[in-house]
Amino acid sequence: SQQGEEDPQALSIQEGENATMNCSYKTSINNLQWYRQNSGRGLVHLILIRSNEREKHSGRLRVTLDTSKKSSSLLITASRAADTASYFCATDAVFLGTGNQFYFGTGTSLTVIP
């Protein structure tokens, strides 16, 4: 399976600290995306990084991609209690005709303690 694996599975930090979570995948990709899921809700897109990019920033988010190691990391700086959620990476490695198929990782559960 192409499914990614996030590491760690769970992370607990104090408000104001930085949170780093990692994603590893198995085959070559076109893009890698990160999503957030609040408890009991659907996933919300955070950021996309293309296979020819190494780093991308969006507000307090910083994403890196190392295609040689087939891994990505998501850094959330100056965390807030509202960042408490599960975070998933998703790769779209397969491009079938005009469609695209996503593979999601197993997620990192982040708890930010006020």
Partner 1 sequence: NAGVTQTPKFQVLKTGQSMTLQCAQDMNHNSMYWYRQDPGMGLRLIYYSASEGTTDKGEVPNGYNVSRLNKREFSLRLESAAPSQTSVYFCASSLTGQGYEQYFGPGTRLTVT
Nearest residue to 35 (alpha-carbon basis) of 79, 66, 4: 4
Provide the token pair at 7.
């590491």
- For residue 82, the 8-state DSSP code is G
- Closest to partner 1 by CB, 73 vs 86, is 86
Beta bridge partners of 85: 110
| Near partner 1 in 50-109, by CB under 8 A | 50, 88, 90, 92, 95-107
- Closest to partner 1 by CB, 40 vs 114, is 40
Residue among 39, 42, 59, 69 that touches partner 1 (CB under 8 A): 42
- Closest to partner 1 by CB, 88 vs 110, is 88
Contact 101, 1 (CB under 8 A): no
Our measurement of the distance from residue 46's CA atom to the centroid of its chain's CA atoms, rounded to an integer in Å, reads 8
| Chain residues in the site for partner 1 (CB under 8 A) | 1, 3-4, 30-31, 33, 35, 40-45, 48, 50, 88, 90, 92, 95-107
